Structure formats: C-alpha cells, structure tokens
C-alpha cells in the first residue's frame, strides 16, 4: 500500500522551478535560492517532502563540484536554502531528483564574477587551470623536457577558488630551483588575466619555478618538471676532490665550468684516479654510442690504460713525474676535448738521510740532522718533520720541525736523567715515512756505583744556570743535602724523606739552580756539595762533590 502511495506521488510531481535567485553574483559568496515543486497542472506539490540534488550547467552528471551544498530539502513542496557557487562564469543552476533526473528545474543564466585576489598559480605546458576548484589545476604527468629546450609557463592571480582576477599594476618575481635556468626575473600584469613567459632549464634533475607577487605577497610554486640530459656535446675531466656542477653555463675555463670544489694536491710518482664523463652542453652527464678517450699533459706523466672507450664515463690511473704547481692535464676524444685542468704535484718523503751521535754524555746536547728525500731522491725544502722520544728519558728541543731550503731538519737532543746503560729510541716521521734511531746515554756508571757523586755540567753557569747531581743509593733512605760556599758556610740545605724522588734505591737525581736559600744567584767560585743517606740509625751514603760556578 505504501509503495503504491509513493508511486502516485511521483507520478503527480512534474517539475521544479527556481522562483528566487540572483541574476549575477560573486563566486565564493553565499546567496539565497527558493525552489518550488509543481504538478503537471501547475499546482504546488504540497505533499512533496524529500531531498533533491543541486548542480550547475558546468557540472557533469552525478557530479557537483561548483555548488555547495549539492542537495536541497523540500518541505510541503518548497525549498529555501543558502548556497555558494565557486566557478566564475556564466552558468545556470539545476535541481533534479537523483532517481528520476527527468524531473528537474533550471534557472536562467547567471553571471558569476571572480572574487578578490587571494592566490597565485603557475601552470606548465601540460597543465590547465581548474577554475572553481580547490586544487587549481589539472595535469598529465610525468612531464619531462631536455636541458636547454624552451617551454612556456602561465601565471594567474586568482580568487580563493582559482578563478582568474583582473589586476593592474601588479608585478611578479620569478625564481627557480635551477640556478642556471633562463627565465625573466620579474614580469608585470598589464590588466590581463594571466601572463606568459618562456623558460629553459639547464640542470638535469627535478626542477621548480617559484613566483611571488610584489604588493599582494602571494606566492606559488610550479609542479616539478623532470629535466633530462641533452645530447652529447662535451667531455668533462674530474680530478680527485672535484665534483660535477651540472647545468653550468659558464664558458670561461679559468672558472672551471662544470666543476665545483678544488682538486686535491697529488704527490710525485704516486698514482691517483682521473674520471672522464660524457656530457651535454651544460655538463649534465649523458651518453653516446662510444667515444675513445686519451689523456694529455704539458708535463711528464704516465697513465693507464692507454685509452678507454666509454658510453657515459670512465677512469684512468695517472702519476706525474716531478713536483710543481699548476701541472696541466686534459682528455681528448675523436672530435672533442676537455679544457686544461691544473693540478699541484707535491713532494712526499720517501727516504731519510739521518745524521746523529751514537753516544751522548748525560747532560750534553747532541744534534740530530734529517734530510727528507722524495721519490726521485731529491731533497724536499720546507717540509714537516715530527720527532718523538718513544723510549728513554731524553728530551728533544722540538717535536715538530721543518726542513730548510736544502731539505734539512735539525733538532737538539739531551738526556739529563739517564738510567744505567740507557739506550734512547727516537721516532722520526714525515708524511708516510717513519724511521727509528737510537742514542746511547753515557752516565759514568762505574763511578756512581762506587758511591761517588757525579755532577754535570761542571763547571756550570757558562751554558746553563743549573746543574744535575747523580748518586747511587743501595737502599731507600732519608737524604740530607748541604751546599757550602768557598768559605765553608752552608748556603742551601735540603732534606728528602725516604722513598721520595731523590731518596730511592738506585740512581737518584737532584737539580741545583745555582741559587742560595734566599733564591739569590751565588757568585763565582768553588762550591762543595755533601749528600748523606741515613736508614734508621745507619749511614748508608756519605759523599761530597765539588763544582765550579762561573758566570
């Protein structure tokens, strides 16, 4: 029974009519519409209480994108509702039943005008403007073009729904992710709805264009464009440390087109890798059907292999025969060649010539002389040499030294506190070259073992203003040390407790700086030094030593 009743209702509902709507309006602003449902005889279909769909004549069937909301509810045959149209064009509004689209109503054409400028949008050649939408453009992707080829972009200033607005006196500034791209820096809108500009990219990669309005502070970016390498046009040679600078339009060879960063210096007769790339006009790596490449230089060098046949890239192993700055190297194919790259070839220490004393008296300085030689056994001037005592008690005047103009480095070596039979080992290093040398330290061990005091230098004060006293204790004990002036007066007294430095079993040391107990320099003269060692009540050491102080 209900089904029959519904069928009767739909048979009596015949059409809809818009009785209230604007003749013109602004896209994106809401307005009031009023729709009445009629029977075929023109009477209001007062029993119709249901939903109907809203659309515009620019919408597709079953799809309403330019009107919101896209449904309207009837009560007693009448629907009143506020709606918004987003497309700025001349169009009509429609209302229809979703299950019986032949029951419908349509307005006279309404002119919708663009709203206030709110957006910028930039379109590539494969994109079209989607006015009245929230997404702005329709595209077919992916889109690619070869480096250096021209393409055009279109820029619109639109309202919030991407309807183009007419503006006057507005200027747009343009930038690109490709620093080598050719495009205008700025362009004015001359009252048109859009502006068109040509551009070509140079760097093979995904690239974009950014556009910014001057007064409105509107900004937009293009969809990514895939830039592909163009055809083979150049060869590029890369030295160690250099990187490809794709897209480079520079042609001045002293600015090293196609490259970034400086080459790392190399060493004489030491092999290094050279890479060669097949490139387009803008140094984007590309490919070819096979190119035979050889290397050349204005200087003596060697490389391997003698040649390579490459489709995209290849490598050589090179070595230069002599040191020098800005040594040239370049690659040549059958029809093209690279510009000359320059490389600094440095010396590297491969050999040492070492001159040093085999034996040194404790406290006496000796000189170590090192000549640094390169692979060609030539002296290397102004080169770093590192020294380090790795065994023994010796001291170096410098741990870092540089060779002079003749390739010679010199340091002084001394050992003030040697052990008996001490043999000091010194490591010498320059670049990758390392070598160890040994020096025996003579310390008058026989006299010390017999309980004597040894002092050096003696006389003192001539070269240095202090002296070292060495003595041997058969066991740990307390030490009393007295220094007497030429008249027998005690000018300095020291007490060293058992097990402290200077009071231990074995060889001990004490340094006197030639000053008295008031820290005043003593005058010239012959001074007596007495050292006694006491363990409990037993004297285990007692001896004197004379030293001459001369200033």
pLDDT in tens, the chain (551 residues): 444 444 444 458 999 999 999 999 999 999 999 999 999 999 999 999 999 999 999 987 556 789 999 999 999 999 999 999 999 999 999 999 989 989 999 999 999 999 999 999 999 999 999 999 999 999 877 789 999 999 999 999 999 999 999 887 889 999 999 999 999 999 998 777 789 999 999 999 999 999 999 887 899 999 999 999 999 999 999 999 999 999 999 999 999 999 999 999 999 999 999 999 999 999 999 999 999 999 999 999 999 999 999 999 999 999 999 999 999 999 999 989 999 999 999 999 999 999 999 998 777 789 999 999 999 999 999 999 999 999 998 999 999 999 999 999 999 998 876 776 789 999 999 999 999 999 998 766 567 767 888 888 888 887 778 888 888 888 899 999 999 999 999 999 999 999 898 898 877 888 999 999 999 999 999 999 999 999 888 899 999 999 999 98
Question: Which CATH fold topology does 445-549 show?
Answer: Immunoglobulin-like (2.60.40)
Looking at domain 2-113, its CATH superfamily turns out to be Immunoglobulins (2.60.40.10)
Which pLDDT does position 3 carry in this prediction?
44
Q: CATH assignment of 351-442?
A: 2.60.40.10
Looking at domain 234-346, its CATH superfamily turns out to be Immunoglobulins (2.60.40.10)
For the chain, what are the domain ranges? 2-113, 119-228, 234-346, 351-442, 445-549
Q: 69 with 93: CB under 8 angstroms?
A: no
Distance CA 155, CA 124 (A): 9
Q: What is the dihedral of CA 384, 389, 390, 393, to 10 degrees?
A: -170
Whole-prediction pTM: 0.70
Q: Look at residue 475 and give its three-state secondary structure.
A: coil
Domains 2-113 and 445-549 share a fold: yes
Residue 286's Cβ-count burial label (10 Å; 0-12, 13-18, 19+) is buried
Distance CA 129, CA 367 (A): 85
- Among candidate residues 52, 61, 50, the one with its CA nearest the CA of residue 98: 52
**Residues counted in the chain:** 551
Which pLDDT does position 189 carry in this prediction?
86
Distance CA 495, CA 481 (A): 6
Q: Report, at the CATH architecture level, how domain 119-228 is classified.
A: Sandwich (2.60)
Chain-centroid distance, C-alpha 390? 39
Residue 537's Cβ-count burial label (10 Å; 0-12, 13-18, 19+) is exposed
Chain-centroid distance, C-alpha 429? 32
Which pLDDT does position 2 carry in this prediction?
45
Which pLDDT does position 420 carry in this prediction?
65
Which pLDDT does position 446 carry in this prediction?
64
Sole residue written with tokens 């709606």: 83
219-223 long-range Cβ contacts below 8 angstroms, 24+ apart: 219/120, 220/119, 220/120, 220/121, 220/122, 221/122, 222/122, 222/123, 222/124, 222/153, 223/124, 223/127, 223/137, 223/139, 223/141, 223/143
Which pLDDT does position 7 carry in this prediction?
44
Residue 200's Cβ-count burial label (10 Å; 0-12, 13-18, 19+) is middle
Q: Look at residue 338 and give its three-state secondary structure.
A: coil
Distance CA 102, CA 264 (A): 80
Q: 436 with 490: CB under 8 angstroms?
A: no
């Amino acid at each position: 029974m209900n089904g029959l009743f519904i069928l009767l209702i739909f048979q009596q509902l015949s059409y809809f009519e818009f009785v209230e709507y604007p003749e013109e309006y602004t896209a994106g602003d809401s307005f009031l519409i009023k729709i009445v449902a009629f029977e075929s005889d023109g009477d209001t279909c007062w029993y119709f209480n249901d939903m109907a769909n809203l659309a515009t004549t620019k919408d597709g069937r079953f799809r309403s994108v330019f009107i919101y909301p896209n449904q309207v509810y009837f009560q007693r045959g009448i629907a009143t509702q506020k709606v918004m149209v987003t497309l700025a064009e001349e169009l009509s509004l429609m209302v229809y039943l979703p299950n019986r689209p032949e029951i419908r109503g349509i307005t006279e054409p309404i002119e919708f005008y663009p709203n206030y400028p709110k957006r910028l949008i930039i379109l590539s050649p494969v994109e079209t403007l989607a006015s009245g939408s929230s997404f702005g453009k329709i595209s077919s992707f992916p889109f690619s073009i070869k480096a250096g080829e021209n393409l055009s972009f279109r820029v619109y200033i639109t309202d919030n729904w991407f309807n183009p607005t007419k503006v006057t006196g507005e200027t747009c500034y343009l930038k690109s992710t490709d620093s080598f791209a050719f495009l205008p820096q700025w362009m004015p809108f001359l009252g048109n709805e859009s502006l068109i500009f040509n551009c070509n990219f140079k760097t093979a990669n995904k690239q974009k264009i950014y556009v910014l309005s001057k007064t409105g502070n509107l900004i937009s970016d293009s969809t990514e464009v895939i830039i592909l390498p163009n055809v083979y046009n150049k060869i590029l040679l890369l030295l160690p440390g250099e990187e490809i600078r794709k897209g480079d339009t520079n042609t001045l060879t002293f600015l090293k087109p196609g490259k970034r960063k400086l080459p790392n210096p190399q060493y004489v007769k030491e092999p290094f890798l050279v890479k060669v790339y097949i490139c387009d006009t803008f140094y984007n790596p590309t490919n070819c059907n096979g190119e035979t490449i050889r290397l050349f230089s204005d200087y003596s060098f060697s490389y391997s292999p003698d040649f390579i046949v490459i489709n995209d890239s290849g490598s050589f192993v090179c070595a230069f025969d002599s040191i020098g700055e800005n040594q040239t190297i370049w690659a040549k194919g059958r029809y093209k060649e690279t510009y000359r790259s320059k490389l600094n070839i440095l010396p590297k220490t491969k050999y040492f010539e070492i001159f040093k004393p085999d034996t040194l008296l404790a406290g006496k300085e000796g000189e170590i002389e090192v000549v640094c030689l390169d692979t060609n056994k030539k002296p290397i001037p102004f080169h770093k040499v590192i020294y380090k005592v790795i065994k023994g008690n010796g001291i170096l005047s410098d741990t870092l030294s540089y060779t002079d103009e003749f390739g010679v480095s010199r340091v002084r070596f001394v050992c003030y506190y040697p052990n008996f039979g001490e043999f000091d080992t010194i490591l010498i290093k320059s670049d990758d070259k390392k070598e160890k040398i040994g020096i025996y330290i003579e310390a008058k061990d026989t006299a010390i073992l017999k309980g004597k005091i040894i002092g050096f230098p003696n006389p003192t004060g001539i070269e240095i203003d202090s002296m070292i006293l060495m003595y041997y204790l058969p066991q740990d004990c307390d030490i009393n040390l007295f220094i007497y002036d030429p008249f027998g007066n005690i000018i300095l007294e020291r007490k060293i407790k058992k097990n402290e430095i200077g009071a231990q079993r074995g060889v001990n040391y004490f340094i006197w700086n030639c000053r008295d107990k008031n820290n005043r320099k003593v005058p010239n003269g012959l001074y007596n030094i007495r050292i006694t060692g006491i363990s409990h009540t037993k004297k285990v050491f007692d001896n004197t030593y004379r030293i001459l102080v001369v200033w």
